[in-house]
Homo-oligomer: A and B are copies of this chain.
Amino acid sequence: MQNSIISSPLDFMFRPRAIAVAGVSDNESGINMGRDFIKALLNAGFPGALYPLNPSGGEILGLKIWKHVREIPGPIDYVISAVPARYARHLLNDCIEKGVKIVHFFTAGFGEIENEGGKRLQADIYKMAKEHGIRIIGPNCMGVYCPASGLSFARDLPNQPGFPTTSGEVGFISQSGGNAIYFVRKAANAGIYCSKVVSYGNAIDVNESDLLEYLAKDADTKIIAAYIEGVQDGRRFIRLLSETSETKPVIIFKAGDTEEGTRAAASHTGAMSGAKVLWPHLLKQTGAIQAGSIDEIVDLTLLFLTIKPPKGRNAVIFGTGGGATVKAADDCALSGLELPPIPADLRLRLRDIFGTEAGNIFTNPLDLMPILGTEELVDTIKMVVEGMGIDLLILQVAFDTWSLMDRAYSIHYYVDCAIRLKSFIDKPIVAVLHYVGSGEAEDLATCERARLLESGIPVFQSIERAARAVDRLIRYSQRFGAKQVILCASDLAHFSVKNCHKRAY
């Protein structure tokens, strides 16, 4: 790692040789973000040298706390500042002397506060850094998570481990630290891992365009997602979005679109989030994929990373629950998916097999009682899919509404069918697990989700969310060709059942 050829100043962000953290208290009690950054890096297994800083000195976690940057032996590429804003100029001066490449200011109290002093300080910092070729991340942000380099900003907590050490395909940039944390955790929960994540806050120097440009060229990043409140250089950003979308899907959640949201964004990161109508229109032109929430970004990355784009919009749904299938049909229609009718001859054959008991519906969405063994059910679904020439198969398992069977048994039954189907049918398959939230149901869903993902079947919380994501994937592939979006389907090793609690069985 230390011998890698540096081709961009931002490489130091993702592959620093040594890191110093300013503002580390040697006291283990109370909140001290400097100490938390040290812990996060230790937990993430950062392989380089790590130097806590504090004018009072001391020791923490077996590391000497250094009093001044200049005292530190050897080069420092990257400094994390957790000192109050009033010491920012002083620290930056020390960093300039030392030849530091990147300073990440976790510190807040700059342009986002309504105080001339804060805005002036921000301008000063920027000027000083610019003059001496130092790049600044932030201020007012969490910084960098890059599992391959042992970088993280989330330490292990008693009930909650830090970020995954597994490296993945998603590059995520976020103007919000909280949203970055939520994304990393939520994505990991869905089996999706990250290549590089940056929480970049006020973006006085390194901004969304710089990061987008970097991730566009980054070989480890197959898909890019962003949470954006405001943009520093709109023209450049839009140009980069257009260029990047040609080679990698770029998913954007642009918040602060209402007047209230704009004001909140200004207070959060000092961002000017801009006019209401303009953004969706501009984003559409670039070919970027628009999301309305972090959860939707997770849905989209999951879908883009697991299935080949359907060739058309004809879907067939197998569902459990008649009422659920009606909403499912509405939801598909609203996302532009077609549910072609089951041909009469197939309907009659299904009726012969399943009878006319309550619970059976022989149109599309299909709702079939679990009276067959998995092999027979798979053969039946295969018969329908092949008899119809559809583009996509959606399997809905509403396992908590099922009153006939043990839910652990019934979900297992349907998941078995889906996994068998995957090897028999050359069409994308998408699954929906729909259930009442409880710890036990959640654990059960976690296990079954992992089994589906290991087989290359993405899982969504509702037909509504699955259909929205499928619509976006089809649009993207129609615009940029299917070749760009067949991203993985090869590397499903992430989706492991090994971490799954067995409690529910």
Contact = CB atoms under 8 A, between A and B. Distances in A.
Interface in A337-355: 338-339, 341, 347, 351, 355
Interface string A453-477: 0000000000010000000000000
A348 to B, nearest CB: 10
B356 A400 contact: no
A2 interface: no
A268 B31 contact: no
Interface string A140-153: 11100000000001
B322 A177 contact: yes
Interface string A306-337: 00000000000000111111111110111000
B503 A329 contact: no
A259 B333 contact: yes
Contacts of A434: 182
B330 A260 contact: yes
Nearest to A398: B178
Contact of A176 (B293, B322, B437): B322
A114 B269 CA distance: 60
Contacts of A323: 174-180, 182, 227, 229, 255, 268
B438 A446 contact: yes
B106 A358 contact: yes
A404 interface: yes
A167 interface: no
Given A107-B358, A141-B358, A185 B436 contact: yes
Given A261-B330, A326-B255, A179 B401 contact: yes
A114 B180 CA distance: 52
A337 B326 CA distance: 31
A324 B118 contact: no
Interface string A169-210: 000001111111110011001000000000001000000000
Most buried by B among A362, A438, A439: A439
A297 to B, nearest CB: 12
Given A157-B406, A158-B409, A264-B326, 9 more contacts: A107-B358, A118-B356, A160-B406, A176-B326, A177-B322, A182-B324, A261-B333, A263-B363, A267-B361
7 contacts: A31-B371, A33-B404, A160-B406, A258-B334, A260-B330, A267-B361, A439-B439
Interface of A: 31, 33, 36, 84-85, 106-109, 112-114, 118, 139-142, 153-155, 157-160, 174-182, 185-186, 189, 201, 227, 229, 255-261, 263-269, 273, 293, 320-330, 332-334, 338-339, 341, 347, 351, 355-365, 367, 369-371, 398, 400-409, 434, 436-444, 446, 464, 501, 503-504
